Amino acid sequence: MTHPLAQRFDGATEILAEIDARIPDTRDHLAETRATVDAYHPKRLQLVVTEIIDETPTTKTLRMQGLDQAALPPFSAGQYVNVFVDGTSRPYAISSSPTQRGHYDLTVRRVPGGRISNLLIDTVVIGQILTTSGPMGTFHHNPLFHGNDVVFLAGGSGVAPAMSMLREIADLGLDRSLHLIYGSRHASDVIFRAELDALAAAHPGITVDHVIAEPDADWTGATGYLTADTIAALAGELNERMVYVCGPQALYPYALDQLTALGQPRKRIRFEANGAPSDPTAQPHWPIGVDPTEEVTVTVSGASFRTPRNRPLLDAMEDNGIRPEAACRSGECSLCRVRVVKGEVHTAEEAKMRLSDARFGYTHSCVAYPISDVELDL
């Protein structure tokens, strides 16, 4: 009998034959292999909230454990879990140390008007069970490619993955230098301030600089924004050190400009994926003269609904009760791929598309926008 995959991909028959030839052992022990993969990369976790920590007036950390209190799947500092709530999901970076397998900490900052951040901050209570994905994401330290001397530019709750990295350095006594340059509007907005300063004081490889945009009269640290001058004054010559950037979306083009002005090569800058573009029409290939607010018809697996052009297809589908798998919501993980059967779609620059996606008509629905009436296949 022909394998079902053989009809969906060019070359699938040859690949399946190769798998048969090379790894009969895995196929003979499929259940065991599946159990091992699931233990390390579970699709879903049920986690109970055991503690809620007030970090700042606008930020809380939700500490979550497994229902059976067993060790949670391992993760690399910088990775996230996707939290499923209210018919949708949002990725949150784990701020706790990977050495602490008994819990994950998710640090949530209230986004003005943000449906999920406000819901998590205002309604989650101790004892509540939340469904998440397993840990995932590529924004983590890789000593082989990133070296052991890195700079981290953070803004707001973008400090969460940095916190996990710093805690790991301290817990394991790693021979690694991490210089955190952390921008906040007010001193009272600085998340983890006491712990960050204590880590910097106790560990020679850890440096922390706070940069405050609107300082009070008694603030003695750096002020303003994360400009090229400020980065250079605090971090010195970058000398092609790897620079991580995590924060609100507006930080990314700004940080890229500042780092480029300092001569930092693009390949030595790593951005954490952070949501769909707030204004897809600002991207150069948004079609000229197309009204982003006008509604079009989207048809998915026989169901049709109307949605404005500037609503990402993933959000529009969720609005209408259709829930494709999704995680990063930033175009990176490819879980939300859909095939565009008919019509025109604007896929944002954020989408990390594979050549095969383009060839077979797929797009990443979290960062794709319907330009005309479209028909999609899940």
Which spans of this chain sit near ligand FES (rule: CB under 6 A)?
326-329, 331-336, 364, 366
Separation CA 227–CA 261 (nearest Å): 10
Nearer to ligand FES, 63 or 311 (CB): 311
The sheet with strand 374-377 has its strands ordered as 303-308, 295-300, 374-377, 337-342, 362-364
Closer Cβ to ligand FES, 163 or 335, answer by number: 335
Closer by beta carbon to ligand FES, 103 or else 346:
346
Closer CB to ligand FES, residue 89 or residue 264? 89
317 CB-near residues (< 8 Å, 6+ apart): 298, 300, 323, 324, 365
Q: How far is the CB of 331 from ligand FES (least distance, A)?
A: 5
- The whole-angstrom separation of Cα 110 and Cα 116 is 9
Per the CB < 8 A criterion, the answer to whether 131 and 84 are in contact is yes
Nearer to ligand FES, 259 or 326 (CB): 326
Largest CA distance in the chain: 77
Residue 112: CB minimum distance to ligand FES, A: 23
Q: Please, which residue, 157 or 330, has the CB nearer to ligand FES? A: 330
- Per-residue DSSP letter, 4: G
User: From residue 114, how far is each of 38, 49, 343 by CA, in Å?
Assistant: 32, 21, 31
Q: Which is closer to ligand FES, CB of 34 or CB of 354?
A: 354
Task: State how far the Cα of 23 lies from the Cα of 100, in Å rounded to an integer.
Answer: 35
Per the listing, tokens 């710093």 go with 166
Structure tokens, 66 = 């497994």
Nearest distance in Å: CB 132, ligand FES: 14
Provide, rounded to whole angstroms, the least separation between the CB of residue 231 and ligand FES: 30
For residue 333, the minimal CB distance to ligand FES (Å) is 3
DSSP conformation class of 174: -
Q: At what angle do helices 159-172 and 193-202 cross, to 10 degrees?
A: 40
Q: How far is the CB of 376 from ligand FES (least distance, A)?
A: 14
> How near is the Cβ of 329 to ligand FES at its closest, in Å?
5
Report in angstroms how near the CB of residue 131 gets to ligand FES at its nearest: 16
343-to-226, 354, 372 alpha-carbon distances in Å: 42, 20, 6
Beta carbon nearer to ligand FES, 99 or 301:
301
Cβ contact 135:230 at 8 Å = no
Name the residue nearer to ligand FES (CB basis): 184 or 310: 310
Q: Which residues contact 256 (CB under 8 A, 6 or more apart)?
A: 245, 266, 269, 271
Q: How far is the CB of 326 from ligand FES (least distance, A)?
A: 4
Burial of 198 (0-12, 13-18, 19+ CB in 10 A): middle
